[in-house]
Amino acid sequence: MPILGIIASSKAVAVPNSYESISTVTVGGGGSASVSFTSIPATYTHLQIRAIVKSNGGQDSLDLTFNGDTGSSQYTYHSLYGNGSSAGTDVSRPRANIPTDITMVASSDTSMFSAGVLDILDYANVNKYKTTRVLSGFNTNGSANGTAVFLSSGLWMSTSAVTSITLTGRATNIGQYSSFALYGIKGA
Amino acid sequence: MASTYEKIATNTLGSAAASVTFSSISGAYTDLKIVVVTGQNPLNNAITWQYNSDTGNNYSNNALIGTGTSAISTNANTQPRISGFGDLGSSALSSLIKIDINNYSNTTTYKTAIGRFDSIPKGRAAVNVGLWRSTSAITSIAFSFENGTDNFSSGSTFTIYGIKAA
């Protein structure tokens, strides 16, 4: 039985040995207001952050900035989401950060974490602005905090190479056992 | 020592099968990624998966589905399996499913998976999130259809990768 071309061309996930672990942060007891990756080398083509995330208080959002840039008009954001009953979209521009859509699940939802994969494409290219994309979601099995799955994108309007990444809880600290792993992906 | 990103196993079906299981999954990695190219015959029920042979009502899932004419979202709590993508729409090997299970082997958190589904015959693109309410490390993953009798087509490939953080 033939495999359709579009499927065949998208089967490869990553070429082994082109994908390297750069650094991992796991949040300790008491939580942390933010998590940062600094001194990111420019030796890769793309970056990827793989995370599980929780709040140490109420359900919250996790925002991203690059290179310490918190300028109020440096970022834009678009999102497509499903909350279990309806689909929706969101946009915000300009703004001072990129909402990652990797939800910080409330501490009251015991043991439940969101999961997310965030890609930063062509992060070291100094000739263009930087684009992010995220697939993320959380499910609380019917708690009042609900559920959602997100496909979102962000833009940093800077041609600077990304050398640092900061992820910050919007209103609460990032909770214990939240984990963020940064990987570098090399091109051919 | 596990490398950063490596294939753990591939199962290519030599004949149609009602289920496919990855068992004895090592805890040596941080995350798992599963890539499935498959078809379904007959088309009675939704594709699903379970962890560690747990058939209790310990799962929930939410999906966002694009049908070509509209976007819809569905949710199911307290289920015996993760689903959300529906049937595959064809016996041809034309459905692609990618699933990420982050921090699958820790014994502190429940496990959350995020997945993507694309089917040309079905005319659907979808993403989902599935929760397993267990702090056990995931050591096996079993794919089947909801009724347990629909089959994955011969030639289907199921590949599992391990990703290891520093």
Domain regions of chain B by residue span: 5-163
Q: Is the pTM for the entire model greater than 0.90?
A: yes
Cα–Cα dist A127/A42, whole Å:
14
Q: What is the ipTM of this complex?
A: 0.95
| Facing residue for B73 by CB, picked from A10, A85, A181 | A85
Task: Tell me the three state secondary structure of residue A50.
Answer: strand
From the list B24, B49, B68, the residue with the least C-alpha distance to B142 is B49
Contact B120 A6 (CB under 8 A): yes
pLDDT for A57 beyond 70? yes
CB-based contacts of B80: which residues, under 8 Å, 6+ apart? Answer: B50, B55, B56, B57, B58, B59
Separation between Cα atoms, residue A38 and residue A159, nearest integer Å: 18
Band of the pLDDT at A14, cuts 50, 70, 90? low
pLDDT of residue A187: 86
- Using a CB-CB cut-off of 8 Å, the residues of chain A touching B133 are 111-112, 141
- Out of A52, A141, A151, whose CB is closest to B103? A52
Band of residue B166 on the pLDDT scale cut at 50, 70, 90: confident
Which of A103, A110, A114, A149 has the most B C-beta neighbours within 10 Å, making it the best mutation to test the interface with B? A149
pLDDT at B100 over 70: yes
Which residues from A are below 8 Å from B109, CB to CB? Answer: 52, 54, 111-113, 177
Q: Return the residue in A139, A150, A180, A185 with the most chain B beta carbons within 10 A, the one to mutate for interface testing.
A: A139
Please tell me the predicted confidence (pLDDT) of residue A17.
73
Top CATH class of B5-163 equals mainly beta
pLDDT value at position A9? 37
